[in-house]
Structure 1
Amino acid sequence: LAGGFFTSIGGQTRSGFARLSNDTAALQNLAATQTTVTWTRGGSSPQFARVSFESSTDNVNYTLLGNGTATGSNWTLTGLNLPTRQNIYIRARGYYRSGQDNGSESTTESVRNAFALQQALLGNISTRAFVQTGDNVMIGGFIITGSGQKRVIVRAIGPSLVNFGITDPLQDPTLELHDHTGAVIAFNDNWMDAPNRQEIIDSGLAPSNNLESAILTSLSPGNYTAIVRGVNNGAGIALVEGYDLDPTAGSKLGNISTRALAQTGDNVMIGGFIITGTGQKRVIVRAIGPSLAQYGI
C-alpha cells in the first residue's frame, strides 16, 4: 500500500491511496572477494541513492569499508584488502528517499557470511644464468606495486646448485640491492653474517649453503635492482630470486626482469616463477634481446 499526495499512480487514477502489485520478485545477491564487494540487485528491488559496505568478525561490531559505486542497479566497492581464509560478515546498506516530498530516508540492508580466498599472486620470481664479470654479472629487477610496504627476501644461490646437477656453480655469490635511484640500500656476502640472520632462518627460506647470500627487508612500492657478483671476480651459474613474505599486504610483487649473458647448453638463461593463492593469474613473459642496443648493450 502507498499513501501520499497524488492523484494518479502507475498510469491509474488514484487519490492519495493505492495498492501496488509487483509482477517480479525483488532479487539480490551480495558477493565478496579479497578485493571487491558487489551487491547485485534486480526485479522489483528499490533503487538506491547511495550504498555503504561494512565488515565484521562477530556480526555485532562493524567497520565501514566505504561507499559503493553504482552500475545500473548494482553497487560495487573495489580496492579492498579483506582478510582471507577466515569467516567474516559483509553488510550492505542501501538508502533511498521516501515520505512526504521525499523528506525522509529509508534503508534496506543485506548481510552475508563470507570466506574470501586469497587471489592468485606472484609468490616467487627467480632467474638462473651464468654470472661473469663486468657488464656480464647477473642483474635482476623487480617492481613492487600497490600501497604499503612489502616484506620480501632476495637470495643469491650458487654452491648448493650442485645438488641439482650443476657442475660449475658460482662458488661465492654476493648480493646488492639498489633502489630506483641506483643507490645501494642493502648488501650481503654470506647470509649467516646478516644482522637479521635469525629473521632469515625464521622465514623458512634461509639458503642451504653459508656462502650464499640473502637480504630480508621491507620495501615500499617502487623499482628495485638486485645484482649478483662473484667474490674475487668469480664466475659460474647462479640463481637470483625474490619471495613475497606477506601476500596479504596491500603491495604486490608485480614484475621481475633479469639481464644476463645467455649462452648455450646448461648456460642458457632460465626464469622461474610461482603463482600462489586461488584462481588464474594473467601474466606476460618476454625475452628481450636486439632492442637492448639502445641502452648501450
Structure 2
Amino acid sequence: MKIVPKYEWIIWLYLIDSENPWPTVAIFSWIHWDEISGIRAAKKLLSDIRTWKIPIRKGRIMLLIWANRKAIKAGKRYMRDNLNRLFIDEIKGEWYEYERSKELKEVLKKCEYILDLHSTSWLSVPYIMTEKKHVPFAKKLWIPTMVVWWGQLGSAFITGDTDGYINSHWWVWFTFEAWDHLSPEWAKNAYRISLNYLSILKLIDESHFQEIAGDRKYVKMENIYICESGAFEFRLPLPENFQPIRKGVLIWMDGNKEVRAEKDMILVMPNIANPKKWEDVFFIGKLLK
C-alpha cells in the first residue's frame, strides 16, 4: 500500500493505493466550513489506514480532507459562490471556487464510486441521499433514513452540486448527512458510514461494518421552495428535518406571502440559516412505503 499526499498537486487530496486494481472510490469532506463532521471522519480514516489499523485490501481511495480550503480558513461557507453549485462541465470563470471545482471534477472523473460527507444546520437524524437506481446498494449501507429522487427535481436552483454532477455521468454516488452540526454523534456517524461504504465495496475487511441504528424511512423528493423576497420567517414552532406536515398548515412567511402545505407532506432540509433571495428554503417530500 502507498499513500500519496497532494496527489496530482491538488492540495489536501490523498491517494491511498492498495496496488490491487479497481475500484477507485472518492470520499469528499468539508465543502462547507461549518460542516466539520466530515473532516474529523476523514482525518481519523487517514490515520487508521496509515497505522494499519484498517488495511486496504484492494482498489484506490481518493480522500479529500479539505474540499474548500480558502473558505474554511476565512470562516465562511464560500468566498464568492457556493462551491457545491459549481460542479458543471460548461461553467467558466477565473475566481477561486471555479478553479477549485475544476480541480475536483477531474478527481471525480477518475472514480467509480463517490461518497460526499456533510452535516445539517437543522435538527435531523442522519440520512443518505442518492438516486432511485442506487437504492439497492444504499440499503446495504444500513442507514436509517434515505432520500431519493434528488436529481429528478430538475431545479436550476440546485444545479451544480456534486450529486447532480456525478449522476449526470452515471457513477455511483451517495451524500451522507451525518446529523445536525451540534450533535455529539456527527463525526462518529460520518466515520461509520465511510467504513461501511469501503467494506461493502470490499476495499477493507467486512468486520469494520457497523450498523447505524434507527427506524427505516424512505423519502421521495417532490418539489422545492425558493425564497422569493429575501425575508422569511418560519411559522412552525421548531422546524425539523423529516417532520410530517398536514395540508393547510402555515410553514413560513415569505415577506408578506403565506406559504402553506398544499397537501400532506414531509418537510425535508428546512434552511434555517437565513437563506438569501432565490435560495432554497425547504424541500417537499413524500414518505414511501
TM-score normalized with structure 1 length: 0.20
Larger relative contact order (Cα-Cα within 8 Å, sequence gap ≥ 6): 1
User: What is the TM-score when the length of structure 2 is the normalising length?
Assistant: 0.21
More strand by share: 1
Query: Which structure has the bigger radius of gyration?
Result: 1
